[in-house]
Amino acid sequence: MPSNIAALSYHDPGIVSLLILTSFLLLQNVINWAFDRLLFCGLIGQIAIGVAWGRPGADWLSADAQNVIMQIGYLGLILLVYEGGLSTDLKTLKSNLFLSSVVAFTGISAPIGLSFLLPSFVNGVSPVQAFAAGAALCSTSLGTTFTILSTSGLSASRLGVVLSSAAMMDDIVGLVMSGIISSLGTSADFSAVIVARPVCVSIAFAVTVPLACVWLLKPLTRLSYSTIGSRKCGWAQKWIATENAALLLHALVLTGLAAAASYAGTSNLFAAYLAGAVITWWDGLCKELRWSTASGRTEPRATETPSCPRPTGNALQLSSASKSVATAGERQNPGQPAQESKSEAKSDDRSGERTESSSSSCPDLYENLTGMAIFGKYYSGTLHTILKPFFFASIGFAIPISQMFTGSILWRGLVYTLLMLLAKLICGLFLVRFATPILPMQVLSRRFRSSISRCWPWPLQTGKAIATPDSTSQIAHATPAQGQERSASPGHQQVSSRKPSRVPKPISLYPAALLGSAMVARGEIGFLISSVAESDGVFGSDEEEGSSELFLVVTWAILLCTLLGPIAVGLTVKRVKRLQERERSRQTGKDDPLGVWGVIPNARQPT
């Protein structure tokens, strides 16, 4: 375009262009809805629309339109990763960190390790190219994982916690890998600095951001609450308690961390995930401060009963607890008049109602200012209807579908797909209870028994069996009929308690199958890394010769894994639910197919 033109001339688009864009957007959303309901992988349909409407297919969209869609779609990817950070439960992640880390490490190292077998059946593959292919296949689709968990109802279960945490860790490493692959493509020679810089910068971000939150942001937040709380109806308090202020603050955190990560040399997607996690942590801190402020205001009213605990939880639970205490006191003192105990219970109920109304009114006013609330109101609609379809369509623009069905590419892609399926299915072995403990765990348990037993999910004791309250409550929650049978036969409990404790054989392989199958789906990060490696020349592609053979093989593996993983999980979940309903209807007392992995961790039965 000549440089002397001061502005872009406006002209009405043709009806053909409008019809193409309209059909493109509508079909993206319709096919995404249909594929999510049937196969839990709507992104496959969106990628297929991109292939059909883009250059690999009919080429209905112009080159300029495809470039604009690609750039806007990357904003959708940033928001997708940001949403994953917002939905991170930090407490649950911390409680299952060890097992999730082991599963995530296996899901990362196994695909990269098996990818070094590529030179044996793909000609001319170097170790760097094999590493890039393994990096593209080491991620796990967060969108597919969250869709599977929400549809199957396993989001709050222990299996769901481990799965979501491991998938997040895999995607974090995948985002770091994308920066490494991009550096490999822009550099002529391979050096350790190319790999070390993104890794070191990512580690620095992962360490400094939490430290800054604890040592800098937390004291400033407490100081701000104490300063603003001392003023009544101040202008600062009114402005901060608005959605516009929260939206501006969240946008500044996201763009600031993304820009800092890009200039520092790591992936801005990793920074987007950190931004979401930081905002979620800050929302929890603010909620805790509001509850403590509300509890402090209700302390003078609670001075009439000094023996009562400080109302930090739900006031309805406190009032029910006061009722149980009054009932217990009446049983211990049968000569005491009943009216006195009833009057005390009524007064406790009234104080509990006052506590609930006064303490819950303040925190509930700010629920619309949390990260998830702001995201759902201002970002979610645009993301899921426009930005996310644009991103997956831009992935389809880069898939040469016409070159993927040649005989040599097809059989190599199927072989590599089998290897990548095996690499992720191995993750399910950590949920299998072997009759004999693993030898390294035996050696480590002799020296570090106390520390390992806190993290490792299976018991490491070699003495007598000891029934813990946690295991008892979980088993009772998972198999109520079996618990009744065991309680009806105390003699059986005495005999079983004398037997030496061994790691029991697996109740079923359904938990392991669910975990391994859910980790199979690669999704958006896999397509991103492979596309970056292809466009930057890591796979050795030549624009005149077309796409490289390795890129086509990797694309086959990503497509088939993303399609087969959700299908396997959906069929397994249907089978498990059918077994659960049959056993509950017959009341046979058999174990739940998922065992302790199907219940909420640290759950307690109501007494």
Which residue type sits at 199? Answer: V
What is the full DSSP assignment across 262-324?
HHHTS-HHHHHHHHHHHHHHHHHHHHHHHHHHHHHHTTGGGGG-TTSPP--S-HHHHHHHHHH
Identify the top-confidence range among 249-258, 494-503, 523-532.
249-258
Give residue 308's region: left, alpha or beta (phi > 0; psi -120 to 50): beta
Could you tell me the CA-to-CA distances from 471 to 99, 244, 256, 476, 587 in Å, in that order? 18, 47, 45, 8, 22
> In terms of DSSP H, where are the helices of 406-457?
407-425, 439-447, 449-455
Q: What is the pLDDT of residues 100-122, one digit of tens each?
A: 889 999 999 999 999 999 999 88
Residue 112 corresponds to which tokens in the numbers above?
């990269």
Residue 258 predicted with pLDDT over 90: yes
- Say if pTM beats, i.e. exceeds, 0.95: no
Distance CA(99)–CA(166), nearest Å, equals 9
> In terms of DSSP H, where are the helices of 536-594?
549-586
Residue 198 predicted with pLDDT over 70: yes
Residue 18 predicted with pLDDT over 90: yes
What is the pLDDT, as a whole number, of residue 545? 62
List the one residue out of 116, 135, 106 whose CA is nearest residue 198.
135
What is the pLDDT, as a whole number, of residue 438? 52
At 590, the pLDDT band (50, 70, 90 cuts) reads: low
| Residue 546, SS3 per DSSP | strand
Residue 155 predicted with pLDDT over 80: no
Residue 188 predicted with pLDDT over 70: no
At 539, the pLDDT band (50, 70, 90 cuts) reads: confident
Distance CA(217)–CA(209), nearest Å, equals 10
Where is pLDDT greater, at 538 or 21? Answer: 21
Identify the top-confidence range among 165-174, 182-191, 469-478.
165-174
At 432, the pLDDT band (50, 70, 90 cuts) reads: confident
List the one residue out of 542, 529, 393 whose CA is nearest residue 56.
393
What is the pLDDT, as a whole number, of residue 303? 39
> 519: how many CB neighbours lie within 10 A of its CB?
28
Identify the top-confidence range among 18-27, 183-192, 282-291, 480-489.
18-27
Average pLDDT over residues 82-97: 80
- In the chain, how long is the greatest CA-to-CA distance? 101
Distance CA(138)–CA(44), nearest Å, equals 18
Q: What is the pLDDT of residues 496-529, one digit of tens each?
A: 444 444 434 446 788 888 888 889 988 778 888 8
Which uninterrupted H or E stretch holds 358? helix 338-364
Average pLDDT over residues 424-453: 64
* Share of residues in the chain with pLDDT > 70 (%): 66
In sequence order, the β-bridge partners of residue 546 are 542
CA quadruple 484, 487, 488, 494: dihedral positive or negative?
A: positive
At 206, the pLDDT band (50, 70, 90 cuts) reads: confident
CB 581 within 8 A of CB 536: no
Where is pLDDT greater, at 591 or 210? Answer: 210
At 71, the pLDDT band (50, 70, 90 cuts) reads: very high
Residue 168 corresponds to which tokens in the numbers above?
């997040």
Q: What is the pLDDT of residues 325-372, one digit of tens each?
A: 444 444 444 444 444 444 444 445 444 444 444 444 444 567 888 999
Residue given tokens 């890794």 in the structure block: 199
At 588, the pLDDT band (50, 70, 90 cuts) reads: low
What is the pLDDT, as a whole number, of residue 161? 76
What is the pLDDT, as a whole number, of residue 379? 94
What is the pLDDT, as a whole number, of residue 492? 45
Residue 433: burial class (beta carbons within 10 Å; 0-12, 13-18, 19+): middle
> 344: how many CB neighbours lie within 10 A of its CB?
17
Which residues are CB-neighbours of 295 under 8 A, at least 6 positions away?
310, 311, 312, 359
Distance CA(344)–CA(349), nearest Å, equals 9
At 385, the pLDDT band (50, 70, 90 cuts) reads: very high
Q: What is the pLDDT of residues 476-493, one digit of tens each?
A: 444 444 444 444 444 444
Which residue type sits at 605? Answer: Q
Residue 309 predicted with pLDDT over 50: no
Distance CA(154)–CA(514), nearest Å, equals 11
Picking from 45-49, 274-278, 436-440, which range would have the lowest pLDDT averaged per residue?
A: 436-440
Average pLDDT, the chain: 74
What is the pLDDT, as a whole number, of residue 109? 92
At 470, the pLDDT band (50, 70, 90 cuts) reads: very low
* Share of residues in the chain with pLDDT > 90 (%): 23
At 537, the pLDDT band (50, 70, 90 cuts) reads: confident
Give the CA angle between residues 308, 313, 316 to the nearest 5°.
80
Residue 137 predicted with pLDDT over 80: yes
At 170, the pLDDT band (50, 70, 90 cuts) reads: confident
